[in-house]
């Protein structure tokens, strides 16, 4: 059965749906939503492969994100890389929301897809897509640049691991509650051949 988890953090209303590969006791796909000074950190990690070793690598990454999530995104990535040396490693994408600037800074290593669907796109494109770099956090870490994009209340961030088909990007509804949207994406686009996780975070802005 899929597992779900929903919650709120400063600036965000979020939900997550995850499903381990059949026959596995643990999923190697994990997430973190963490309040930080002036904003929030959202991250999804995918331990390489599946099973206990993938889950261990993912848990190690989440531990580093939890501990160092208050640092700038590139620094957080480096901290994760150092913590994961000697493990299978992970791929990950993360986003840091800054309420004072009304921005989101995001980056990715590997194939955790990220899409930001804008609520009001009359003066800009309907969505922004995260450009990730190939590599492994804890192994072959590439040179990474973080991108900064403006956010407004109602904008919706979706992260999905490679257990979810890419076609989900055409089915992001900003009118659906985050948990329901995460559940729908996993149900419709989960491959069933790998661990899978979908995280949906809606930006609320100042409240």
Give the pLDDT confidence of 129-178 residue by residue, as tens digits: 999 999 999 999 999 999 999 999 999 999 999 999 999 998 898 889 99
Cβ-contact 117, 155 below 8 angstroms: yes
Predicted confidence (pLDDT) per residue in 80-101, tens digit: 999 999 999 999 999 999 999 9
Q: What is the pLDDT of residue 3?
A: 57
Instruction: Give counts: helices (H), strands (E), the chain.
Output: 3, 11
Residue from 32, 26, 78, 86 nearest 54 by CA: 26
Cβ-contact 147, 107 below 8 angstroms: yes
Structure tokens at 95: 């986003």
DSSP 87: S
Q: Where are the domains of the chain?
A: 3-203
**Helix 73-84 and helix 52-68: axis angle, to 10°?**
140
Share of the chain above pLDDT 70, in %: 92
Cβ-contact 31, 61 below 8 angstroms: no
C-alpha 105/C-alpha 127 separation (Å) is 15
Q: 3-203 adopts what CATH topology?
A: Phosphatase 2c; domain 1 (3.60.40)
In Å, what is the CA distance from 29 to each residue of 71, 157, 160?
Answer: 23, 17, 10
Mention every residue, 6+ apart, whose C-beta is less than 8 A from residue 80: 61, 64, 65, 68, 90, 92, 137, 138
Tell me which H or E stretch contains 79.
helix 73-84
Q: What is the pLDDT of residue 26?
A: 85
Residue from 151, 62, 140 nearest 100 by CA: 151
Q: What is the pLDDT of residue 7?
A: 54
What is the pairing mode between strands 39-47 and 29-36? antiparallel
DSSP 5: E
């Amino acid at each position: 059965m899929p597992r779900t988890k929903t919650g709120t953090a400063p600036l965000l209303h979020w939900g997550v749906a995850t499903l381990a590969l059949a026959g596995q006791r643990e999923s190697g796909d994990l997430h973190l939503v963490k309040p930080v000074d002036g904003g929030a950190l959202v991250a999804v990690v995918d331990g390489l492969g599946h099973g206990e070793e993938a889950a261990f690598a993912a848990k190690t990454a989440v531990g580093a994100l939890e501990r160092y999530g208050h640092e700038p995104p590139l620094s957080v990535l480096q901290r994760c890389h150092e913590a994961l040396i000697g493990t299978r490693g992970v791929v990950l994408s993360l986003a840091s929301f800054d309420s004072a600037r009304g921005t989101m800074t995001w980056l990715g290593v590997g194939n955790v897809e990220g899409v930001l669907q804008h609520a009001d796109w009359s003066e800009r494109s309907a969505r922004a897509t995260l450009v990730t770099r190939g590599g492994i956090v804890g192994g072959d870490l590439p040179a990474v640049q973080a991108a900064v994009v403006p956010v407004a209340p109602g904008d919706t961030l979706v992260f999905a691991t490679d257990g979810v088909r890419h076609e989900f990007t055409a089915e992001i509804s900003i009118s659906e509650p985050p948990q329901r949207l995460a559940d729908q994406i996993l149900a419709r686009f989960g491959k069933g051949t790998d661990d899978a996780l979908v995280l949906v975070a809606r930006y609320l802005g100042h409240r």
